[in-house]
Amino acid sequence: MPTGVALRDVRRQLFEAADRILLRAGPSALTSRAVTTEAGCAKGVLHRHFDDFDAFLADYVLDRVERLAPETAALRETAGTGTVAGNLTTALIAVFESVAVAIVALITFRDGLRARLRHTWPAGVPVLTEAAEMIAGYLAAERERGRVPAGTDVEVLAAMLIGTGHLLFADRTGERPGPARVHQMVTSVLNQATSPSP
């Protein structure tokens, strides 16, 4: 890698390499050597920009969390249009067809990464908690419009959707759920959560 390459480009190349490795081979395959090989750069490049591999992974995870910002804005824009279940289905597919499921496995797999993330993200799993906040914000906007029943606890409902979505997408059979299956799950969770108590 040329010495004049900007740090931001190096970070982007290394993070995109980590994405590919995680999606292809899972967290056990994610090593500093694998990342630099995948990125097509010298082994020392990663260690020139990060204190150690866990520091690299922590920055990588937080960068991927920040990537949810455009999806959050896009979901907010759908409030009051289409159907609530349809909008949530699209949002959940976008979250879970990204590298999010693999990042959850990575955080679970690496003790050093979890310890490092606790300094900047003290509660929850970064990608999932950010996604839950995105869904809760959207549901609150729909509640204001009367498309989600008044009194619905949108934080609890968002957590239910994220948790159920994660289980659906983390299925080890190798097949991703299609939009119809995700929509069915969303509709079921919404119906259960918003039905009046007997």
pLDDT (tens digit per residue) in 89-105:
999 998 887 777 788 88
Both 82 and 37 in a single domain? no
Distance CA 183, CA 61 (A): 28
Let me know if residue 14 belongs to a domain: yes
| Tokens representing residue 146 in the block | 């009367």
Claim to verify: residue 134 and residue 189 sit in the same structural domain: yes
Domain boundaries, position 35: 7-49
Which CATH number do you get for residue 161? 1.10.357
**Are 20 and 103 part of one and the same domain?**
no
pTM: predicted TM-score of the whole model, two decimal places: 0.78
Asked if the structure places residue 178 within a domain, the reply is yes
Residues 113 and 171 in one domain: yes
Question: Structure tokens of 165?
Answer: 């979505």
Does residue 95 share a domain with residue 44? no
The packing angle between helices 84-96 and 126-144, to 10°, is: 170
What does the pLDDT look like over 5-60, one tens digit per residue?
444 588 889 999 999 998 888 888 999 999 999 999 888 889 888 888 988 998 89
Is 56 contained in some domain? no
